[in-house]
Amino acid sequence: MDYAIETISLTKIFSDWWGRAKVYAVDDLNLKIRPNEVFGLLGPNGSGKTTTIKMLLGLLHPTKGHALLLGGQGADPKINTRIGFLPEESYLYRFLNARETLDFYGRLFGLTPDVRKMRIEALLEMVGLKAVARRPVGTYSKGMARRIGLAQALINDPDLLILDEPTTGLDPIGTRQIKDLILKLAERGKTILLCSHLLADVEDVCDRISILYGGKVQSEGRVGDLLRQADKRQITTGAISEKALAKIQKILNEEGVGCDVTSPMEKLETFFIDTVVEAQQQAKPTSGAVSTTDIGEFLTAEESQGSILDRLASTSEPELAPTGDLKTEEVEPVEVATPQGNQDLLSDLVKPDSGSETEQVDSTAAADLAAPKGPKPTEVPDVKKNVLDALMGGDATPDATTSAPQEPKKDGESGDG
């Protein structure tokens, strides 16, 4: 079968000046990623993840072996047209502003001006940088740069998305948004290679994972298979009485198994979002990214790419989520795969800030979020799982730019925002 990504004995040896082999960065790697798969490439720092990606994309030449992307070479422009890539950090032209950055990459993809304009607006809206789109990206915080990096990776509506540490530097809402986006894109038949050492992110979204160490695959398989503890069962109930609990314990004792009874903790993610929502309701201004869980319409549309783009490009206000006249592609409300209460919180997040100098989020989008009607996938995984890990692990500390309570230190640079 044709794989979306295939590496055959891929090896990269870094040599010293005399040509002596120093480091095996990637050692005889055989990856096979099927189309429409969300594949996680895991591993500790220096395990060869990024080197593998660079070889896939033709930025490094393999010492041995081959790397195939969508059946071709990563350096082939025909293949590049169908790929979106977000490097481990957002490397941007500091002198361009967000809109110019996206315009530049749009031009490299040869997008027509209409399509380019429409997508730029949609992406800026999606990553919450519309209000600061005229500021040079050199003045952006890490998380904001990450957002614009993500936007450029999506501007061509890629078939294959390669994300290297996508959530680094993002606040929890941004992290969540990326995870939602990945699922959404997978639903549309896209292939995603997610490279990360933030295990929670990977666990939430990936179908299959591969764990690298020392440039070699140590373990590979479906996430569910690898993690399932077949000898244990978990039952979650409402607030049942002590009496009922005693009954259950009795039954379990008869079965010959023990059980632990605890009250589940509220997730830190929920707590965090609560706090941000509260701050936004108090109308504190931010010079950073606006938290939005909206996903660019052209990325979530079910129709074939050509027709929707052409039609959207011809509408007078393509950047706004169409409401009345475009019923078939209403902005898909984001799957907030959390309890109902959390959805309300998220919808609050995108409500316009009265008195704020930042972006006024389109109210139709907010309304959509508040009352989601779109089709919901049945197999949405629980993205709230291990949020604590996600927040604490690596460098994914909550980003200051979106969190209003930390706002004052950003005031100095909000002048041109």
Partner 1 sequence: MGRIWAVAKNTIRQALRMKVAAIFIVLLLVLLPVMGLTATGDGTLMGRLQTFLSYGLSLTSLLLCLLTIIVASYTITSDIENRVIYMVATKPIRRHQFILGKLLGVVLLDIGLLILFAGGIYATVKLLPRFQDASEAEIAQVNSEFFTARASLVPPVLDVTEEVIALYQEKEDQLKQVYSSLTQAEILNELTIRKRLEKRAAAVGQGVLWEFENVKPLGADESLYVRFKYDVAETPADNQVYGRWQIGDLRQMREGTEIKTYIASEDRKDPLRTFREIEIPASVVADDGYLAVGYINPPLNRTVVLFPLEDGLEVLYRADSFTANYVRATLVILCRLIFLAVLGVLAASFLSFPVAILFCLVVFSIGSVSGFILEAIDLMDANIGMIYEYTIEMVVHMLPRFDKFNPTKFLVPGRLLSWSFLGSIVVSMVCVKAFLLLILSLIIFSFRELAKIIV
User: Which residues of the chain form contacts with partner 1 (CB under 8 A)?
Assistant: 14, 23, 25, 46, 48, 50-51, 54, 57-61, 74-75, 77-78, 80-81, 83, 85, 87, 89, 91-96, 100, 104-105, 107-110, 136, 149, 152
Q: Which residue number, 137 or 365, has a Cβ lying nearer to partner 1?
A: 137
DSSP symbols for 228-257: --TT------SS--HHHHHHHHHHHHHHT-
- How close are the terminal C-alpha atoms of the chain, in Å? 50
Cα distances (angstroms) measured from residue 28 to each of 10, 20, 205, 214, 296: 5, 18, 27, 11, 38
Parallel, antiparallel or unpaired: strands 5-15 and 83-86: unpaired
226-230 contacts, C-beta under 8 A, 24 or more apart:
227/203
Q: Which residue number, 100 or 389, has a Cβ lying nearer to partner 1?
A: 100
Q: Which residue number, 108 or 367, has a Cβ lying nearer to partner 1?
A: 108
Q: How many residues does the chain have?
A: 417
| Least distance (Å) between residue 66 CB and partner 1 | 16
| Least distance (Å) between residue 26 CB and partner 1 | 9
| Least distance (Å) between residue 57 CB and partner 1 | 5
- Cross-strand pairs, 23: 14
Q: Which residue number, 57 or 369, has a Cβ lying nearer to partner 1?
A: 57
| Least distance (Å) between residue 200 CB and partner 1 | 24
Q: Which residue number, 105 or 298, has a Cβ lying nearer to partner 1?
A: 105
| Least distance (Å) between residue 240 CB and partner 1 | 54
Structure-block tokens of residue 205 = 């979204």
| Least distance (Å) between residue 76 CB and partner 1 | 9
For residue 200, count other CB atoms closer than 10 A to its CB: 23
Q: Which residue number, 160 or 365, has a Cβ lying nearer to partner 1?
A: 160
Q: Which residue has the tokens 């010959």?
A: 256
| Least distance (Å) between residue 403 CB and partner 1 | 27
55 membership: H or E segment, kind and range: helix 49-56
Structure-block tokens of residue 187 = 């639903």
Q: Which residue number, 96 or 326, has a Cβ lying nearer to partner 1?
A: 96
| Least distance (Å) between residue 198 CB and partner 1 | 19
Q: Which residue number, 94 or 247, has a Cβ lying nearer to partner 1?
A: 94
Q: Which residue number, 93 or 271, has a Cβ lying nearer to partner 1?
A: 93
Q: Which residue has the tokens 């989520």?
A: 321
Comparing CA positions, the residue from 282, 283, 312, 316 lying closest to residue 300 is 312
Contact 160, 191 (CB under 8 A): yes
| Least distance (Å) between residue 3 CB and partner 1 | 19
Structure-block tokens of residue 404 = 């209003």
Contact 86, 151 (CB under 8 A): no
Q: Is 63 exposed, middle or buried (0-12, 13-18, 19+ CB in 10 A)?
A: middle
| Least distance (Å) between residue 175 CB and partner 1 | 21
CA angle 109, 100, 288 (to 5 degrees): 120
Q: Which residue number, 62 or 318, has a Cβ lying nearer to partner 1?
A: 62
| Least distance (Å) between residue 125 CB and partner 1 | 21
Q: If DSSP codes are grouped into helix, strand and coil, which group holds residue 208?
A: strand
Structure-block tokens of residue 152 = 């450029």
Q: Which residue number, 74 or 333, has a Cβ lying nearer to partner 1?
A: 74
Structure-block tokens of residue 25 = 């960065």
Comparing CA positions, the residue from 13, 289, 286, 57 lying closest to residue 151 is 289
